[in-house]
């Protein structure tokens, strides 16, 4: 896989107009590098057809929550999907319009609900009867208008993805079973402290097939019709996120087919569609740059030990995810199998396994592609390793958007 933003020119890997080796020279490794142009192109590919349906794209902050990226997207007209008080603070920090923010998540605390109501979010996607009660009581306590809510429905649709990121079946903790929805909506509609605004669903992440989305949309549209017949009209239908990207050789998600199917369903409807894309906006717009520390061979394997590991990019260890690995200097020399491993004390600390790769020597630089989403946000200080730097490439310029964490910063709050 070689994405538009990351390409070789004269044998050297670049992000847009900048040589990645220069970025490594200036900011060191490990470092996340993102392409502004790619982020915006990815966002517009979703937001523009949606706007034609009077819909709204709410970037899912959990995928990558760097303030510079949120600001970029807010300026491009994005709404935001948040799942915590911390994410709310981030979107407010970049002066995003809270009236374009949806608050999802199964475990919102009273404090988080208060903060969202005070900010004036578009809606809280409520995930249980218990949460509806808490939202109602916090809204009553605030005494300044009804809290805007939608109920997140679990549409019981199976999506072909990793079990950890599949969310739309009754075995999963997310949403409310379809059978319970009408009763909850009735309860919400009766309360003077709640304003029913919409319905939500989200069936999982890294889904490449359009059909499960359409099955979920059809389920929630049927519910919306049912609610209308009970005099509970909805304004917004939040379809969630989850559009898959190409990490290896997967066929790209068919956005054209998806949007024409949405058009058929939403044309002439008062309901506005809302999407919460995360990975499909930022995933292929980012790489993790790492440097080779050592090369070692055992009887059975060649190991390329690099300076970035599972604390920097957890996805391979957590999900067994595949990330393409490219040398910064293109080479035609013979390839042989190797594992690319990090410095942490876990056998699960790998970035690639049994991959056909050229020879490397200490000091060589590698790019781990497709690392923009669920990369830095999942980084940790495991093994007391400071978190990596983040750099945004803006055409021919590089901008540090998060300095590398220092050891002093890492331990500063501890007593
Ligand atoms: C409710 C909700 N919306 C949106 C997303 C974003 O998904 P993705 O990054 O796959 O688009 C997620 C992630 O799992 C989610 O849980």
Mutate to test the pocket of ligand 1, among 201, 242, 258, 274 (most ligand atoms within 8 A of CB): 242
Task: Quote the ligand 1 centre to 277 CA distance (angstroms).
Answer: 6
Residue 283, ligand 1, Cβ within 6 A:
no
**Catalytic entry in 15, 58, 264, 345:** 345
CATH 2.40.50.100 fits 6-35+283-411, yes or no: no
Element (H, E) at 69: helix 67-75
Minimum CA distance residue for ligand 1 atom 4: 241
Phi and psi dihedrals of 231, rounded to 5?
Answer: 60, 35
pLDDT on residue 2: 45
CA nearest 279: which of 315, 311, 329, 249?
315
In contact, 136 and 193? CB cutoff 8 Å? yes
User: Residue 123 and residue 386: Cα distance in Å, rounded?
Assistant: 36
Please check the confidence at residue 170 and state whether its pLDDT lies above 80: no
Task: Quote the ligand 1 centre to 135 CA distance (angstroms).
Answer: 22
Please check the confidence at residue 236 and state whether its pLDDT lies above 90: yes
Rounded average pLDDT over 171-197: 91
For the stretch 177-212, what's the b/e string if a residue is b when 16 or more beta carbons lie within 10 angstroms of its beta carbon?
ebeebeebbebbeebebbbbbbbbbbbbbbbbebeb
> pTM here?
0.96
Residue 74, ligand 1, Cβ within 6 A:
no
Write the pLDDT tens digit of every residue in 324-382: 999 999 877 788 999 999 999 999 999 999 999 999 999 999 999 999 999 999 999 99
Write the pLDDT tens digit of every residue in 34-84: 999 999 999 999 999 999 999 999 999 999 999 999 999 999 999 999 999
Please tell me whether residue 389 adopts helix, strand or coil conformation.
Answer: strand
Do the domains spanning 6-35+283-411 and 105-275 agree at the CATH topology level?
Answer: no
Rounded average pLDDT over 287-296: 98
* 345 is an active site residue: yes
Report the CATH fold assignment for 105-275. TIM Barrel (3.20.20)
DSSP string, 327-359: ESB---SPPEEEEEE-SSS-TT-EEEEEEEE--
Write the pLDDT tens digit of every residue in 240-266: 999 999 999 999 999 999 999 999 999
The ranges assigned to domains in the chain are 6-35+283-411, 105-275
Residue 42, ligand 1, Cβ within 6 A:
no
Please tell me whether residue 80 adopts helix, strand or coil conformation.
Answer: strand
Lowest mean pLDDT among 126-140, 201-215, 246-260, 329-343: 329-343
pLDDT on residue 169: 63
């Amino acid at each position: 896989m070689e994405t538009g933003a990351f390409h070789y020119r004269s044998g050297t890997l670049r992000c847009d107009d900048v040589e990645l080796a220069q970025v490594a020279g200036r900011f060191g490794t490990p470092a996340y590098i993102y392409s502004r142009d790619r982020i915006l192109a990815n966002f517009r590919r979703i937001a523009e057809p949606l706007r034609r349906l009077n819909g709204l794209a709410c970037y899912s902050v959990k995928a990558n929550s760097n303030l510079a990226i949120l600001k970029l997207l807010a300026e491009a007209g994005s709404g935001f999907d948040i799942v915590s008080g911390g994410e709310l603070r981030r979107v407010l920090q970049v002066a995003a319009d809270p009236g374009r923010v949806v608050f999802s998540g199964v475990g919102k605390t009273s404090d988080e609900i208060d903060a969202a109501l005070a900010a004036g979010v578009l809606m809280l996607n409520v995930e249980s009867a218990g949460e509806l009660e808490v939202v109602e009581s916090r809204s009553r306590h605030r005494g300044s208008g009804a809290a805007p809510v939608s109920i997140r429905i679990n549409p019981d649709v199976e999506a072909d993805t990793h079990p950890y990121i599949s969310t739309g079946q009754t075995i999963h903790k997310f949403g409310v079973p379809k059978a319970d929805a009408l009763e909850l909506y009735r309860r919400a509609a009766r309360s003077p402290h709640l304003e029913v605004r919409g319905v939500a669903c989200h069936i999982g992440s890294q889904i490449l097939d359009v059909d499960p989305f359409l099955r979920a949309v059809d389920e929630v549209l049927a519910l919306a019709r049912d609610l209308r017949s009970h005099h509970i009209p909805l304004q917004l239908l939040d379809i969630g996120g989850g559009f898959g990207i190409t990490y290896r050789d997967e066929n790209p998600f068919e956005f054209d087919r998806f949007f024409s199917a949405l058009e058929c369903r939403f044309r002439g409807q008062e309901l506005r569609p809302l999407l919460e894309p995360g990975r499909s906006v930022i995933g292929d717009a980012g790489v993790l740059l790492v440097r080779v520390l050592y090369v070692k061979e055992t009887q059975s394997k060649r190991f390329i030990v690099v300076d970035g590991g599972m604390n920097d990019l957890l996805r391979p260890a957590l999900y067994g995810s595949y990330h393409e690995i490219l040398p910064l200097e293109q080479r035609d020399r013979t390839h042989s199998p190797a594992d690319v491993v990090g410095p942490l004390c876990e056998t699960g600390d790998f970035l690639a396994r049994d991959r056909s790769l050229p020879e490397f020597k200490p000091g060589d630089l590698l790019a781990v592609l497709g690392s923009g989403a669920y990369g830095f946000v999942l980084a940790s200080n495991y093994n007391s390793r400071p978190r990596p730097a983040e750099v945004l490439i803006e055409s021919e310029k590089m901008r540090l958007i998060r300095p590398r964490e220092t050891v002093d910063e890492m331990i500063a709050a501890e007593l």
